[in-house]
Amino acid sequence: MATLEIKNLHVSVNTDDGPQEILKGVDLTVRSGEVHAIMGPNGSGKSTLAYSIAGHPKYDVTEGEVLLDGEDILQLSVDERARAGLFLAMQYPVEVPGVSVANFLRTAKTAVDGEAPKLRTWIKDVNAALERMTLDPTFAQRNVNEGFSGGEKKRHEIAQLELLNPKFAVLDETDSGLDIDALRVVSDGVNRFSGQGDRGVLLITHYTRILQYISPDFVHVFVAGRLAETGGRELADQLEAEGYDKYTRAGV
Ligand code: ADP
Ligand code: MG
Ligand code: MG
């Protein structure tokens, strides 16, 4: 069994007024086979948590640990984290000018596996992954995220997730900007990934809508840089009905 452990994580960013602490002691363990949803209001630090796990240089870990199967990943480069089995899908995916989806996916797969995938099976795998995401095969020739619609970006991310098949996936607002059909396609992809049984998912979201399609084992309420409450999926229903008011008034 694999584990992703976040222990007392404190993270700061540099602002014009000096360093500002965004994460104020996050504790969370995700085990393989589990889907965790993190829900919280805008500005609470959810993306900061995702970027910090990913190793984004803007985010300065001042205290705490992130362990993947007991190994401290905060010492690892972004690439090394991917090789160790982490996958991060970002709320605002970047454009990669001049790099086609096909080349991008092949480079990512080669980096994660340490060797290039066999060409013939790889092309088949890519086409199948795109088709499952209802993306046309010609999509592979487009430049990464260049002129992609919101839905295409998210579907591309999930195709990437399925092809790389990491141990743990951190998905930041994978549901944002999706119409109902795209939401279903993307959710199906996440469910196929987690349905393998030995994978872990940390699903970060602002809305409960995606949880109609992806059933989390745990729901965490994230407010003002830390977890305010943990429960089962009934907690998502409660948030849907009551919002974050009770937590934001109690906090800060
Ligand atoms: P969420 O994803 O929950 O909406 P974020 O993690 O994006 O929250 O942001 C949390 C807080 O940290 C916000 O107040 C935001 O302005 C601030 N913040 C995040 N990243 C940066 C950054 N690179 N520079 C300055 N402030 C940042
Ligand atoms: Mg602390
Ligand atoms: Mg965010």
**What is the CATH classification number for the domain harbouring 179?**
3.40.50.300
Q: Is 46 in the pocket of ligand 1 (CB under 6 A)?
A: yes
pLDDT digits (tens, 9 = 90+) for 98-156: 899 999 999 989 989 999 999 989 999 999 999 999 999 999 999 998 889 889 999 99
Rounded to the nearest angstrom, the distance between the alpha carbon of 12 and the centre of ligand 1 is 10
pTM equals 0.94
Q: Is 226 in the pocket of ligand 1 (CB under 6 A)?
A: no
pLDDT digits (tens, 9 = 90+) for 8-20: 999 999 999 999 9
* Residue 25, Cβ density class (10 Å: 0-12 exposed, 13-18 middle, ≥19 buried): middle
Report the pLDDT value the prediction gives residue 206, as an integer from 0 to 100: 86
Instruction: Collect residues with CB below 5 Å from ion ligand 2.
Output: 8, 25
Asked if the structure places residue 172 within a domain, the reply is: yes
Range of the domain at 48: 3-93+158-250
* ipTM computed for the complex: 0.94
pLDDT digits (tens, 9 = 90+) for 47-106: 999 999 999 989 999 999 999 999 999 999 888 998 999 998 776 667 777 899 999 999
Q: Is 225 in the pocket of ligand 1 (CB under 6 A)?
A: no
Task: Look at ligand 1, atom 7, and give the residue with the nearest C-alpha.
Answer: 47
Asked if the structure places residue 106 within a domain, the reply is: no
How many domains are contained in the chain? Answer: 1
Question: What mean pLDDT is reported for the chain?
Answer: 93
Report the pLDDT value the prediction gives residue 197, as an integer from 0 to 100: 92
Asked if the structure places residue 81 within a domain, the reply is: yes
Asked if the structure places residue 68 within a domain, the reply is: yes
Residues 6+ apart with CB under 8 A from 225: 21, 22, 23, 24, 25, 26, 44, 45, 48
For residue 88, the cross-strand partners are 170
Report the pLDDT value the prediction gives residue 250, as an integer from 0 to 100: 60
pLDDT digits (tens, 9 = 90+) for 198-249: 999 999 998 889 999 999 999 999 999 999 999 999 999 999 999 999 998 8
Contact assessment for residue 99 and residue 143, using Cβ atoms and an 8 Å cutoff: yes
Rounded to the nearest angstrom, the distance between the alpha carbon of 45 and the centre of ligand 1 is 6
